[in-house]
């Protein structure tokens, strides 16, 4: 077997978001005690122990890397994120490695979707991608988004819940030709990416534009993130977004999203100004947001940008809202621990979105996409492709 540079093994594992312990378990390395298995993997990564062919094949599968990548002379550069619109630490962390792996995965899926669409003679490029600039201003960018998506605020607010309001917004975006995915991990809860590390990712491609939303965030925040990433598409800016506002374009895209969800004229009705106490701010914002399918953090942000809330108060209440959401989420998970969860395929379809499911179903049905390639686009194992796509297919086996 050709020689594999041990540095490649470390790079492949870390960019897959796996610690030595989790990697040893994923690879099925059983050596009496867990610690011995970890020590054995560490020794292989330093070149002290020989790497067997069967283990290399498992690494290729579990680390989500083509086999040829392990024979590169040195680790390649990080995944192409486009522009990174976040404040990130100087030293790469485990979270950043997970983000890198996710971006690489999304890029590969988007490239395949792009090829499928280009092979369709009826396909036309989307003219709204990159059609605007920051100089056009928030009102004009938002007006264009509304026009293309054919959506207005009253329709959005009439939905029964924040999740249903997001679904409406997502459906309109997908009808316009944008693929919207909910992805917050690399396939397991062990690789979950905190929303503090990554909120959304946009690929501003006029053939196959992609928006990825971190589903580890609160569902009430998904609509804001989607609108934020749509603004990136209109500006023609591929990149990854976080919660921080140190980059001017992030402020602009946030303002576009916030202007749709909460127009200027409604801000006084929240009942909050710079003299309102913290507890009163929390109570009034919570009541206002709950009635309108809005994220509480977004309402606080909007008040801050309108100078109705100081930066210190905004950061304080946003931190409290985030802590309350995490506590509520953890309590819900604890209650559901012993209960039967939702069907795997139902959850997976929701995360992938109708646009991607129908495109892949049509391509598999007409033979232009093999089940193996389809599995990579959908992020599932090949044997899961058929049951995942089954509801999308008509009785004659064609895409509905």
Judged against a pLDDT cut of 60, whether residue 1 lies above it is answered with no
Among 216, 232, 261, identify where a domain stops: 261
Does residue 132 sit in the same domain as residue 217?
yes
The torsion region of residue 249 among left (phi > 0), alpha (psi -120 to 50) and beta comes to: alpha
Question: Mean pLDDT across the chain, nearest whole number?
Answer: 87
Mean pLDDT on 24-35: 77
Highest mean predicted confidence (pLDDT) among 27-36, 67-76, 157-166: 157-166
Ordered DSSP codes for 159-197: SSSHHHHHHHHHHHHHHTT-EEEE--SSSSGGG---TTT
3-state secondary structure of 28: coil
Please tell me the number of Cα atoms within 13 Å of 392 on its side-chain side: 24
44 and 123 together in one domain: no
136-195, pLDDT tens digit by residue?
999 999 999 999 999 999 999 999 999 999 999 999 999 999 999 999 887 777 778 888
With respect to residue 248, please indicate whether it lies within any of the assigned structural domains: yes
pLDDT score for 274: 95
Share of the chain above pLDDT 70, in %: 90
Of residues 254 and 93, which shows the higher confidence score? Answer: 254
Q: Is residue 113 part of a domain?
A: yes
Tokens (6 digits) for 373? 């390639």
Residues 121 and 240 in one domain: yes
Q: Model confidence over 298-352: pLDDT tens digits? A: 999 999 989 999 999 999 999 999 899 889 888 887 877 766 767 889 999 999 9
Residue 137 falls within a domain, yes or no?
Answer: yes
Same structural domain, 146 and 250: yes
Of these ranges, 94-98, 106-110, 128-132, the one predicted with the greatest mean pLDDT is 128-132
> Mean pLDDT over residues 392-399, rounded?
59
**227 shares a domain with 126:** yes
Our count of domains for the chain comes to 3
**Is residue 202 scored above 90 in pLDDT?**
yes
* 256 and 380 both lie in a single domain: no
Confirm if 4 and 63 have CB atoms less than 8 A apart.
Answer: no
Residue at 370 is within a domain: yes
Which residue would you say has higher pLDDT here, 390 or 79? 390
Q: Are 66 and 93 members of one domain?
A: no
Same domain membership, residue 348 and residue 201: no
Three-state DSSP class for residue 61 = helix
| Domain finish residue from 201, 231, 261 | 261
Final residue of a structural domain among 18, 44, 71: 71
Which has more confidence, 72 or 234? 234
Residue 90 confidence (pLDDT) above 90: no
Please tell me whether residue 291 adopts helix, strand or coil conformation. coil
Residues 189, 184: Cα–Cα separation, whole Å = 9
Provide the CATH number for the domain around residue 43.
1.10.260
Regarding whether 221 and 114 lie in a shared domain, the answer is yes
* 122 and 169 within one domain: yes
Establish if 291 belongs to a structural domain: no
Report the pLDDT averaged over residues 83-111. 70
Joined tokens for residue 169? 């917004």
142 is in which domain, residue-wise?
83-261
**Is-contact 360 377, C-beta < 8 A?**
yes
For 358-374, what is the mean pLDDT?
A: 93
Considering Cα of 126, then 132, then 133, then 139, what sign does the dihedral take?
negative
Q: Give the pLDDT confidence score for residue 32 in this predicted structure.
A: 56
Neighbour count for residue 375 (Cβ, 10 Å): 18
pLDDT confidence of residue 343: 85
Residue 330 maps to a domain: no
Q: Do residues 23 and 133 both lie within one domain?
A: no
DSSP symbols for 309-360: S-HHHHHHHHHHHHHHHHHHHHHHHHHTSSS----HHHHHHHHH-HHHHHHH
Question: Is 311 inside a domain boundary?
Answer: no
Q: What is the pTM of this model?
A: 0.79
Q: How far apart are CA 321 and CA 325, in angstroms?
A: 6
What percentage of residues in the chain have a pLDDT greater than 90? 56
pLDDT exceeds cutoff 70 at 74: yes
Phi-psi region of 190 (alpha: psi -120 to 50; beta: other; left: phi over 0): alpha
Helices 53-62 and 6-15 meet at what angle, rounded to 10? 30
Residue 271 belongs to some domain of the structure: no
User: Do 170 and 203 reside in the same domain of the chain?
Assistant: yes
In three-state secondary structure terms, 1 is coil
Rounded Cα distance, 128 and 185, in Å? 30
> Contact, 374 vs 385, CB < 8 A?
yes
């Amino acid at each position: 077997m050709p020689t594999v540079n041990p540095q490649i093994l470390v790079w492949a594992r870390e960019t897959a978001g796996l610690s030595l312990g989790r990697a040893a378990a994923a690879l099925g390395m059983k050596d009496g005690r867990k610690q011995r298995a970890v020590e054995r993997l560490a020794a292989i990564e330093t070149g002290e122990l020989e790497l067997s062919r069967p283990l290399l094949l498992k690494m290729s599968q579990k680390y989500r890397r083509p086999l040829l990548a392990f024979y590169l002379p040195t680790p390649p550069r990080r995944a192409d994120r486009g522009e990174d619109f976040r404040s990130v630490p100087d030293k790469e962390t485990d979270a950043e490695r997970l983000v890198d792996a996710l971006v690489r995965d999304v890029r590969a899926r988007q490239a395949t979707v792009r090829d499928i669409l280009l092979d369709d003679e009826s396909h036309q490029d989307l003219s709204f991608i990159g059609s605007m600039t920051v100089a056009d201003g928030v009102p004009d960018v938002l007006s264009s988004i509304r026009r293309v998506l054919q959506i207005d605020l009253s329709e959005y607010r009439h939905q029964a819940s924040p999740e249903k309001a997001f679904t409406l917004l997502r459906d309109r975006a997908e009808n316009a030709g944008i693929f919207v995915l909910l992805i917050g991990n690399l396939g397991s809860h062990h690789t979950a990416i905190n929303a503090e590390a990554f909120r959304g990712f946009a690929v501003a491609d006029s053939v196959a534009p992609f928006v990825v939303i971190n589903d580890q965030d609160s569902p009430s925040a998904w609509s804001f993130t989607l609108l934020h990433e749509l603004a990136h598409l209109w500006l023609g800016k591929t990149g990854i977004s976080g919660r921080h506002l140190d980059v001017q374009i992030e402020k602009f895209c946030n303002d576009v999203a916030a202007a749709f969800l909460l127009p200027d004229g409604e801000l006084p009705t929240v009942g909050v100004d710079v003299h309102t106490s913290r507890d009163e701010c929390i109570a009034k914002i919570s009541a206002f947001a709950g009635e309108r399918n809005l994220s509480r953090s977004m309402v606080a942000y909007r008040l801050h940008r309108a100078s109705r809330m100081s930066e210190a108060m905004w950061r304080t209440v946003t931190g409290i809202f985030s802590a309350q959401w995490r506590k509520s989420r953890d309590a819900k998970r604890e209650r559901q621990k012993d209960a039967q969860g939702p069907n795997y395929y139902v959850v997976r379809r929701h995360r992938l979105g109708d646009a991607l499911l129908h495109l892949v179903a049509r391509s598999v049905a007409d033979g232009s996409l093999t089940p193996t390639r389809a599995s990579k686009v959908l992020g599932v194992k090949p044997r899961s492709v058929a049951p995942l796509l089954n509801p999308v297919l008509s009785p004659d086996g064609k895409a509905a």
